[in-house]
Amino acid sequence: MKSPRHFLGMKGVSLPFLIDVLDTAQDYYDAARREHIKLTHLRGKTIINVFFESSTRTRTSFEIAGKRLSADVINISTASSSVTKGETLLDTVKTLEAMNPDAVIIRHSASGAPHYVAERLDTAVINAGDGAHEHPTQALLDAYTMRKHCGRLHGLVIAICGDVLHSRVARSNAILHAALGNEVRFVGPRTLLPPAEVFGARAFDSLEAGLAGADVVMVLRIQRERLEGERRIASLREYSRHFGISERSLRAANPNAIVMHPGPMNRGVEISSDVADGPRSLVLEQVEAGVAVRMALLKHMLATEAAA
């Protein structure tokens, strides 16, 4: 399967390529649980992580993934870069490209920023989250986790709950699962849901109806920083009362339903601590899968055939 030059979003991505990546990720996941041997597929390659927005999981995950494959990984965050001196996005990435990296992994608050950069660089570009647009590697690691725990990636009912409107995680997941033929639901107050039909999803403004028969309950963070001044919910307490995921609300879902959350979680707002720390929660497994999935993606995109 030919690998794409850039990895910018789930829109238009080849499903056989994604399945190849998930299969490779499985080998890496199993191997990492047995031992931490450094692989050499990306020896001599340089990856630059350029994060214009804060991140704990995604940045660290890409860094560890690159290093486990023997790549050199350099991290740049806006706070310590020349962006604070007024340099434009394009000048910053062109400067980085002049140092001949093999890939630039970019997170930016503007939707479309990685696409804009990819059109102007020869280096491979990977989207690590752009505004409220897409976060394709999160959808990949979520798919890995679903396949592992549900045993399949078809015939699933996936309820994506909470602040779907501001969520790039929701968009990438919805596009992927609509393409896979799964039933995608957006569940939350109408003011926090984008037009569901555009994503091949169905909208529910009742938690009970939205969770009925769900195999996967994907909980999203209320994005307070993007909600500020928008007055879309009366209060966090009210939101939590009607839409917070608790053991009680989960009774509507399939008895074997799994609970996922991309993090960071707002405990007591969109998810109760007993669910977050409970037996159905796969939150930390998602993080673990993230490293294996990003290793697999980097290997498929960057490794040269001759490498070990």
The site for ligand NCD (CB under 6 A) is made up of 57-58, 129, 135, 138, 168-169, 221, 223, 262-263
Minimum separation from the CB atom of position 190 to ligand NCD (A) = 20
**Cβ–Cβ under 8 Å, residues 171 and 199:** yes
We find the least distance from the C-beta atom of residue 165 to ligand NCD, in angstroms, to be: 12
In whole angstroms, how close is the CB of 130 to ligand NCD at the nearest point? 9
Please, which residue, 137 or 272, has the CB nearer to ligand NCD?
Answer: 137
Which is nearer to ligand NCD, 66 or 262 (by Cβ)?
Answer: 262
Q: Which is nearer to ligand NCD, 125 or 219 (CB)?
A: 219
Cβ closer to ligand NCD: 114 or 129?
129
Residue 156 CB, nearest approach to ligand NCD (Å): 21
Place of tokens 């009925």: 212
Least Cβ distance, residue 93 to ligand NCD (angstroms): 20
* C-beta closer to ligand NCD: residue 124 or 164: 164
Which residue, 45 or 63, is less far from ligand NCD as judged by CB? 63
Extract the tokens encoding 36.
């931490």
Please give the Cα distance from 298 to 128 (Å, whole number): 13
Nearest distance in Å: CB 37, ligand NCD? 27
